[in-house]
């Protein structure tokens, strides 16, 4: 009996050391989450109404202010068991984390649309960049029970960064057939942004990615009714700093709107985001850790001339729900773009030409 008590006393320091090490590791900025650090290459909500409608050939530029506020909480591991030394009892561990984040980002996206058809469609090329502020905080409680011995460790981290992000090239092909408009696209991430695996907040994502997809827009000039949907798949390359690789993501952005005049439309937007393959490189205790989120919200758009050019001003917002392994909350998009004006013959009460 004395030997058993001695074994417990000698095991307790080892147990405390393991708990302290686990708390530090699990509350560090390298904690594994679906879409590493909870951030995906694809920003849900990027596309919306009029996504597949052809644009005016020539140069255009869009400035997008993006604000998001998200939170996540829950048990990252529950009742996980391991042995601390040969004579130690089984240890039951419960880890609860609370994550919150906020970002204010400005995307600048110049685009050139070619006048010469390619494969019967309209080709455009975009190279977007981003600059802004990202902040995050992470709090956690690690509780372990070994028989009558219960040990708790708390941790808190917070970080903020104002810097530049990655570069995002995108190529699109669009086709028009009356009220039906179709689009195919290929996009990528060039990981040149400000990223440090030891930080909790980053603007760059630290790894490359490629994304392929397509979209459809129904635009009836006679009724002013419009609906759009764009879906795609993202393949994430391995992060060379962490050796972590996020799984393949599927995403669907959609929008419906009604033109109240030739210049103003209102409607709704939404998105669905689902990771379809497991992450790799994380501790096995976390499993595949697939992420998911849905969102819906209102939108309004205004088209107006600026000198000899055409401008677009749009505002849309999303409220997220049914999230899994991913922070969720709400986000808003304020878009301002300028393009060459459409030929006068295409801007009539029965046909609306919109460039975004």
DSSP codes joined into one string, 12-52: HHHHHHHHHHHHHHHTSTT---SSGGG--SS-TTS--TTTT
What CATH number corresponds to the domain at position 228?
Answer: 2.40.160.40
- pLDDT tens track of the chain, all 356 residues? 433 333 333 333 343 333 333 433 344 434 444 466 556 899 999 999 999 999 999 999 999 999 999 988 764 333 334 444 444 556 666 667 788 899 999 999 999 999 999 999 999 999 999 999 999 888 888 777 777 787 887 888 899 999 999 999 999 999 999 999 999 999 999 999 999 998 889 999 999 999 999 999 999 999 999 999 999 999 999 999 988 899 999 999 999 999 999 999 999 999 999 999 998 886 545 556 788 999 999 999 999 999 999 999 999 999 999 998 888 999 999 999 999 887 654 433 333 444 34
pLDDT for 139: 84
13 within domain boundaries: no
288 within domain boundaries: yes
Q: What is the dihedral of CA 249, 201, 167, 299, to 10 degrees?
A: 70
306 within domain boundaries: yes
Reported pTM: 0.81
127 within domain boundaries: yes
69 within domain boundaries: yes
3-state secondary structure 280-294: ECCCHHHCCCCCEEE
1 within domain boundaries: no
50 within domain boundaries: yes
28 within domain boundaries: no
Number of domains in the chain: 1
Domain containing residue 319:
37-73+103-137+160-346
């Amino acid at each position: 009996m004395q030997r058993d008590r001695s074994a417990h006393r000698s095991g307790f320091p080892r147990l405390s050391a393991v708990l302290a090490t686990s708390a530090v590791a699990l509350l560090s900025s390298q904690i594994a989450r679906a879409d590493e650090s909870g951030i995906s290459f694809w920003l849900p909500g990027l596309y919306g109404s009029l996504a597949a409608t052809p644009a005016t050939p020539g140069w255009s530029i869009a400035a997008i202010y993006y604000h998001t506020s998200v939170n996540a909480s829950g048990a990252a591991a529950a009742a996980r068991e391991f042995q601390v030394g040969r004579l130690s009892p089984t240890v039951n561990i419960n880890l609860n984390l609370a994550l919150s984040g906020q970002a204010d980002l400005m995307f600048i996206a110049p685009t050139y649309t070619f006048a010469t058809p390619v494969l019967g469609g309209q080709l455009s090329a975009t190279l977007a960049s981003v600059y802004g502020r990202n902040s995050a905080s992470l709090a956690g409680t690690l509780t372990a029970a070994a028989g009558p011995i219960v040990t708790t460790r708390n941790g808190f981290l917070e970080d903020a960064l104002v810097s530049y992000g990655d570069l995002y090239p995108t190529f699109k092909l669009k086709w028009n057939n009356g009220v039906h408009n179709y689009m195919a696209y290929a996009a990528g991430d060039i990981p040149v942004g400000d990223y440090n695996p030891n930080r909790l907040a980053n603007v760059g994502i630290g790894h490359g990615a490629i994304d392929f997809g397509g979209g459809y827009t129904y635009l009836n000039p006679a009724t002013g009714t419009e609906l759009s949907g764009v879906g795609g798949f993202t393949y994430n390359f391995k992060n060379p700093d962490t050796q972590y690789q996020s799984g393949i993501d599927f995403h669907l952005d959609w929008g419906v709107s009604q033109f109240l005049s030739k210049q103003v439309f209102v409607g709704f937007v939404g998105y669905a985001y689902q990771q379809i393959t497991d992450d790799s490189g994380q501790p096995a205790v976390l499993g595949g850790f697939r992420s998911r989120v849905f969102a819906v919200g209102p939108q309004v758009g205004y088209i107006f001339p600026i000198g000899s050019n055409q401008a677009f001003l749009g505002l849309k917002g999303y409220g997220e729900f049914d999230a899994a392994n991913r922070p969720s909350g709400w986000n808003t998009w304020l878009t301002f773009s300028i393009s060459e004006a459409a030929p006068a013959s295409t801007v009539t009460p029965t046909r609306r030409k919109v460039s975004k």
